[in-house]
Amino acid sequence: MLSRKFHLVFALVLVVSVLLSACGGSTDAPTQAASTEAAPTQAASTEAAQTQTDATQAPVQAANPDAVLTMGEQNLPTFTRNFNPFVSASLPGTLNVIHEPLMIYSSASGELTPWLATGYEWSDDLTTLTFTLRDDVLWSDGEPFTASDVAFTYNLLKTAPGVNSTVLPALVGGTAYVDSITAVDDATVEFKFNRPYTPGLYELIAQNIVPEHIWKDVTDVVAFTNDNPVGTGPFTQITSFASQAYELGKNPNYWQPGKPAFKGIVWKAFADANAMSLAMADGAIDWSNLAIGDPQRNFVDRDPANRYFILEEGPNMGILAMMTEHEPFDDPNVRKAISMAINRDQVSLIGEAGVVSPADVTGLTEFYQSWKVDDPAALSDWATYNVDKANELLDAAGLTRGADGIRVANGQPMKYSVMVLPAPNWMADMQIVAENLKEVGIELAVQPNPNFPEWQQTQKTGAFDMIFGIIDGNATPYRFYRQTMSSDLLAPEGTPAEGNYTRYAGGKADELLSRFASSVDPAEQKQIAFELQTLFAEEVPAVPLTPLGGMGLINTTHFTGFPTADNYYASAQPNPSFFADILLVLNQLAPK
């Protein structure tokens, strides 16, 4: 069973704002996901239908079907019309509102919900993954949705240059494990793998599907702005568009009868977080992922009968990444010493306002509690704040202090910069780390970088000594350990990598990862996860710092059906670019 950490907060004063990140929620309520969905099985098609939420349950009766849900987008003062799901510049709602995935993995409930696909099945040798599709789905222009659309979408990603998608590593380059995607018939699509790779299920289902009859004639996929999109989602019609706001209207051919129960969604543009915070306080927005300081006073107390907020700790981990090819970070004991010098209790309490737990030596967040060894601290002690021992390890590594108290490595003072995205909480986290490292003779300058593509490119190319990085997780711990330890993700410094950004070249994890990916036995996968945790604790390929948390601000003045403490069925963060969960919520909302 997966045990998850969930916070439904009505009275909490945040010390520092918590940035929304690409992470999921968690809950203390156990689910059946670990034993059935976290490890794919031969009978998965049947299990998905029996154990998961029925996407086509009875329609919600709407008191006001002409109601419009209002949401906001911060740090985007104007909108440029672009609904292309294959580029990073697409507008909110392009992904997981207009377009839909095959299945939805809810990072809140841990459940896998059939969506455009009703089930899946693995071949005996685990090299063929077959999806069965719904036979009652139409595109918003009335054309039938078929397996040809699914195969076309993935094959387009394999061949079109410059496209953006989370599934690209599965399809192209040295990380690819999918050889071919074929429509067997109108309701069946088949993925042929070049090796057993069962975690691929959770990676592949996330891709949003596009209509072949529209996109087959597009000559430049990246340049195409898809001004009038055709999708299968609940809201597909661009009923109005201006630089400050646009509205998505209901899909006239949506495949779920009676849904959605309201007219449309309006997204409003805000130049910065302060402007959006004021709009939230004034009740001008119904649902937001904006992380604001003191949300109790600044949001809930304005209308406590209709407002609340949810804080979530998901599977993603923030790390202090050090280039393991650079001296002195090539020494695991130096990495352990730097980790020991960090007071994670301060990071959690001050930087993250107590929203998330301090990271431990497994590198796994509380989202993976059921996968963890019983006592992570028994594996090693380098996640425990201990300045004296950190200094002992650095002394033993020959890193002596200069006259100014700064240690010297390879003839150079241990003075470094650490690049970090300028979210208030992450900046606070790194300032704490910088203060902590002074105690062991290391000087760290915190370098905010508001340019996400630049920060991402720096992380991928390894053009750093230290950087605040993010490791995205999903249903099982496999992705975290592959992203931090797998040799198949190694790339020369200067060449963009799709993971293993610290260039950890131990290679000891490869055999364990291969065994995990070749298994459909939950017990076996769990035992392998224990072994991966032990190895991670020994080698410290990256220093886990803080789990990533997020905030959902909910105003129920106009709508009911949002996730609550008693019905925590999906992430409370309305960020469709990262959370397919939003589809679950949109189909449960009903206007008052």
- CA distances 185 to 10, 132, 205, 356, 590, Å, are 51, 10, 19, 47, 37
Phi, psi angles (nearest 5°) of residue 338: -60, -40
C-alpha span between 102 and 186 (Å, rounded): 15
DSSP string, 546-563: EEEEEEEEEETTSEE---
> 């993954």: which residue's tokens?
129
22 close to 578: Cβ distance less than 8 angstroms: yes
The residues, any chain, with a CB within 8 Å of residue 206's CB and separated by 6 or more, are 101, 105, 166, 167, 580
> From residue 91, how far is each of 97, 103, 277, 288, 456 by CA, in Å?
11, 22, 20, 16, 20
Q: What is the DSSP letter of 502?
A: T
Quote the pLDDT of residue 27: 28
**Per-residue model confidence as pLDDT tens for the chain (592 residues):** 233 333 333 222 233 333 333 333 332 222 222 222 333 333 333 333 333 444 545 444 557 889 999 999 887 789 999 999 999 889 999 999 999 999 999 878 778 999 999 999 999 999 999 999 999 999 999 999 999 999 999 999 999 999 999 899 899 988 899 999 999 999 999 999 999 999 999 999 999 999 999 999 999 999 999 999 999 999 999 999 999 999 999 999 999 999 999 999 999 999 888 899 999 999 999 999 887 878 899 999 999 999 999 988 888 999 999 999 999 999 999 999 999 999 999 999 898 877 788 999 999 998 898 899 999 999 999 999 999 999 999 999 999 999 999 999 999 999 999 999 888 889 999 999 999 999 999 999 999 988 888 898 999 999 999 999 999 888 899 999 999 999 989 999 999 998 999 999 878 999 999 999 999 898 999 999 999 999 999 999 999 999 987 889 999 999 999 999 889 999 999 988 888 999 999 999 999 9
CA distances from 513 to 110, 192, 483 (A): 22, 20, 11
**The pair of three-digit structure tokens given for residue 429, joined into one six-digit string:** 């986290």
Place of tokens 């222009």: 141
Q: What is the pLDDT of residue 292?
A: 81
Domains of the chain: 314-548 (3.10.105.10)
What size, in residues, is the chain?
592
DSSP structural state of residue 2: B
Kind plus residue range of the DSSP H or E element containing 348: none
Sequence-distant (≥ 6) Cβ neighbours of residue 295 within 8 angstroms:
9, 12, 14, 309, 551, 553
Report how far residue 23's alpha carbon sits from residue 315's, in angstroms, rounded to the nearest whole number: 6
Count of Cβ atoms closer than 10 Å to residue 135 Cβ:
12
The pLDDT value recorded for residue 591 is 96
Question: What is the per-residue burial (b if ≥16 Cβ within 10 Å, else e) of 88-106?
Answer: eebbbbbbbbbbbbbbbbb
The reported pLDDT for the residue numbered 384 is: 97
Q: Judge if pTM exceeds 0.85.
A: no
Residue pair 192/182 in contact by the 8 Å Cβ criterion: yes
How buried is 217 (Cβ within 10 angstroms: 0-12 exposed, 13-18 middle, 19+ buried)?
exposed
